[in-house]
Amino acid sequence: MERKLNLILLGAPGAGKGTQAELISARYGIPAISTGQIIREEIASGSELGEAVKSYTSKGELVPDSVVIDIIKARLAKDDCENGFILDGFPRTVPQAAALDEMGVCITDVISIEVADEDIMTRMSGRRVCKKCGATYHVKYKPSPAGENCGVCGEPLTIRADDDPAVVKSRLEIYHAQTEPLKEFYDQKGLLKIVYGQEKLEDTTALTAAALEG
Ligand code: AMP
C-alpha cells in the first residue's frame, strides 16, 4: 500500500501540474483538486459564485483569497479526501497557504514543477481542454486519442480564454510575484521538492514519481 499523500503541486500555469495531478490521482486513488476547474465549472453553471469570479479569471487575475479559501475548505471536507488528496492550483498566495495551516490541514509533500517562461508560452498555445469533464490535452505533447474531441467523454475540445498569449504573459507575472514565494514558505517547512519539467510527458512523470518516493 502507498503512503498517505496530502500533496500540493506548485508551478506556473501550463507547467503540467494538471496532467501530473491526474496521473498521481489514478496511481494513489486519491482526488486531484483543481481550484481552476472548480471555478470554471461554477462559471459554466452560471451560479452566483461563478458570476462573481468570472471577470478575474477571464483576465488571468487571481480570484480573491477569501473566495478560493471557502471553495477549498468545502472541498477538503468531503469524504473522498480522507485518504489523501492532490491540490493543483491551490494555494497560490501566502495567505492561502496560511489558511490551510489554520484549517489544520497537514500537508505531507510539496512539488514544484519548474518550466522556463519561454517554454510555457509555447506550450500554452497548444493546450486544449474539455469543458464538460475537465480533461486536459496538448496538441503536441498529449494529444487526445479522439483527435479534436475529448478522449474521455467525446465532447469537442476547446481553448481556454485565459490561454491567449497576452493573458498567459500576465498570468506568468502574477505567478512569479504571488505564487513563487510559496516555494520558500514550504522549503522552510522541509516539504519542498523541485521537479524540472521535461519536454516529454513521461520523463516529467518519472521525475515526479521519484520525488514522491525519495
Ligand atoms: P488554473 O486552471 O489553475 O490555471 O486556474 C484558472 C484561473 O482560476 C486562475 O487564473 C485564477 O483566475 C483562478 N484560480 C484558480 N485557483 C486559484 C487560486 N488558488 N487563487 C486565486 N485564483 C485562482
CATH number at residue 56: 3.40.50.300
Q: Work out how many domains the chain is built from and give that number.
A: 1
Q: What is the pLDDT of residues 116-129, one digit of tens each?
A: 999 999 888 899 99
d(CA 96, CA 212): 23
Whole-model pTM: value is: 0.90
The range of the structural domain enclosing residue 76 comes to: 5-115+179-213
Does the annotation mark 123 as catalytic? no
d(CA 111, CA 133): 25
Looking at residue 214, what is its pLDDT? 77
42 domain residue, yes or no: yes
Contact yes or no for 167/161 (Cβ under 8 A): yes
163 domain residue, yes or no: no
Could you tell me if the CB of 14 is within 6 A of ligand 1?
no
Could you tell me if the CB of 134 is within 6 A of ligand 1?
no
Q: Is the pLDDT of residue 1 over 60?
A: no
166 domain residue, yes or no: no
Q: Is the pLDDT of residue 69 over 90?
A: yes
Average pLDDT over residues 131-159: 94
